[in-house]
Structure 1
């Protein structure tokens, strides 16, 4: 049983997310230690729901949907409900909004449809669209990082891999451990050519090993992969660890991801041409560590071509990650 509505309750529901598309995971809402007939719920896609039992639909026009908020009259196995729902990116607004609804319906004993309509009017400005479009280059780069997270890092390290994902923090490298850093570059070119935008980006930190992952994509309207498929794959891998899943979704939100991207028309689709892992060593093409630009030059960009460079096999790359993280634990 729960008392009130807090982020912990949504985290609990994420750990219970159903496998079926039409199913809902639910937990009851309690107020001052007493049970109510209201429930919090979550669907397969991670959308947040507040379910309020009703005897009938709205007497007049139903309350209007707002950006990210849907109001529906639904028939469930348990009976008819007034269902409010929002995508996970709106949790910080949806949670206090639901608290006001619960107070109006339970504490003030107001008629649910009227209470919801009045609360929506009071909260209308908070639901105005403010999300900027997700830039194509951001989607491309983030796709590569999530591909590495789900196919290499989580399978080796488990949910703790999310802690090492530093791409959202604008660090020098995209994954940072005590003994191993990983830089991920993703390109839509037909060759494994990548732009290096920082003088220190291919410098190996003292006491660390640096791996470079090259991801090649083909952008196509018929592509079978997208940023959404990568997010879904990571969410499935983290389903049993609510804390790691919450931390992952927080990082995604900070990068501009929201569930609206799925249907906004801005979501790019790809075919994955290939992904290779390289050790950044003396054979790797890069500027020397002691290189200094001439006075007055404040930044340098250059392109590396990895076409003729031997890459690590999956087992070898996995071994490097395991070995470095055993050192971290010891």
Structure 2
């Protein structure tokens, strides 16, 4: 059974057969026996499934759904509607939704609009999950792209792009051979950052780890840049590593078709700061928790906020030292 809780009826090719058609990479048409005539077109190269059904009654209003669109065409004097879904990672759910509409039209004699709304209601959780990134996700990606842009302007894409680990959910956001960076961004007035897990601020394999704190604030288009702008810049700096950057952007939640959602412009509220994760940094790690918590191995899903506003910051290795604020040298 698919994630939405539905399987296509026995009138349709099963999901295993669907996967076979899709993996072939070629366009295919799957007729649906019944009255009125209906069929589903598979277009793997464009990532779409399309249900074609004769127009009947009022036109379904799909404007509020981001992943579904309606098109009209005429064939031999007959008017047809195309209900097209952008599949992304939900091939089975999209297929099941379209076959459900066809079943309601052919087997229960429902008007296309009624059948569509009824099927969409059953799949509303699926459709809701295809919205844009949350504000927190956007802020986090914005900060990582700022760091990536800086590094790509000073070092080669061959070194930097493979080092970008944030979207891949690895322990640290940027893992260079001799230094790691965990990038944290906030729109707040204080440098308060959410830390997820006990590994996020744990140096690995003896490689120094720095937390890069970025404060952002909304601004006007002439005074800042949008997430759209940053994505374009990083793509332009990525050279032949662009395909990998595009994969990582998708993993981070970016979809080009949703770009209009990310036109808000931001700028730095203050100069970024960097903090070396050493014994004096207030990080919750497995080793520290084990020292004070009985049966610490049973503790799961640790998350906490750390406020580094008043902590001493420092200068990380080049070229990141040019990205952050460097503290003034203390005089005796």
TM-score after normalising by structure 1: 0.53
TM-aligned CA distance change 1:181 to 1:313, over 3 Å = closer
Alpha-carbon deviations, 1:28-73, whole Å to 9, x = none? xxxxxxxxxxxxxxxxxxxxxxxxxxxxxxxxxxxxxxxxxxxxxx
Which stretches in structure 2 are left out of the alignment for 5+ residues? Answer: 1-42, 49-72, 89-126, 323-332
Structure with greater contact order relative to length (CA < 8 Å, sep ≥ 6): 1
TM-aligned CA distance change 1:230 to 1:122, over 3 Å = same
Contact persistence 1:139–1:268 (CA under 8 A): no
Contact persistence 1:191–1:307 (CA under 8 A): yes
Asked if 1:205 is matched to 2:233, the reply is: no
Which stretches in structure 1 are left out of the alignment for 5+ residues? Answer: 1-89, 96-115, 322-330
Shift of 1:252: 0.9
Shift of 1:183: 0.6
Alpha-carbon deviations, 1:73-112, whole Å to 9, x = none? xxxxxxxxxxxxxxxxx994179xxxxxxxxxxxxxxxxx
The residue aligned with 1:254 is: 251
Shift of 1:218: 1.4
Instruction: For 2:266 and 2:74, locate their aligned partners in 1 and report how far apart those are by CA, in whole Å.
Output: 42
The correspondence of residues 30-49 of structure 1 with structure 2, limited to 5 A, is none
The correspondence of residues 175-194 of structure 1 with structure 2, limited to 5 A, is 175-194=174-193
Shift of 1:212: 1.0
Q: Give the SS at the match of 2:319.
A: helix
The residue aligned with 2:268 is: 272
Asked if 1:291 is matched to 2:269, the reply is: no
The residue aligned with 1:26 is: none
Shift of 1:161: 0.6
The correspondence of residues 124-273 of structure 1 with structure 2, limited to 5 A, is 125-127=84-86, 131-152=130-151, 154-220=153-219, 224-238=224-238, 241-242=239-240, 244-264=241-261, 267-273=263-269
Alpha-carbon deviations, 1:115-172, whole Å to 9, x = none? x998xx8986355797422211110111111111111355234343111111111111
Shift of 1:230: 1.1
Alpha-carbon deviations, 1:224-253, whole Å to 9, x = none? 222112112212222xx23x0111112112
TM-aligned CA distance change 1:281 to 1:91, over 3 Å = farther
Q: Give the SS at the match of 1:194.
A: strand
Larger Rg: 2
Q: 2:46 aligns with which of 73, 76, 93?
A: 93
Instruction: For 2:158 and 2:266, locate their aligned partners in 1 and report how far apart those are by CA, in whole Å.
Output: 26
Contact persistence 1:202–1:286 (CA under 8 A): yes
Instruction: For 2:310 and 2:224, locate their aligned partners in 1 and report how far apart those are by CA, in whole Å.
Output: 28
The residue aligned with 1:23 is: none
Contact persistence 1:181–1:210 (CA under 8 A): yes
Contact persistence 1:277–1:317 (CA under 8 A): no
TM-aligned CA distance change 1:221 to 1:278, over 3 Å = same
Superposition RMSD in Å: 3.6
Contact persistence 2:210–2:277 (CA under 8 A): yes
TM-aligned CA distance change 1:181 to 1:219, over 3 Å = same
Instruction: For 2:81 and 2:244, locate their aligned partners in 1 and report how far apart those are by CA, in whole Å.
Output: 31
Shift of 1:267: 4.2
Contact persistence 1:212–1:278 (CA under 8 A): yes
Contact persistence 2:276–2:314 (CA under 8 A): yes
The residue aligned with 1:309 is: 311
The correspondence of residues 86-125 of structure 1 with structure 2, limited to 5 A, is 92-93=45-46, 125=84
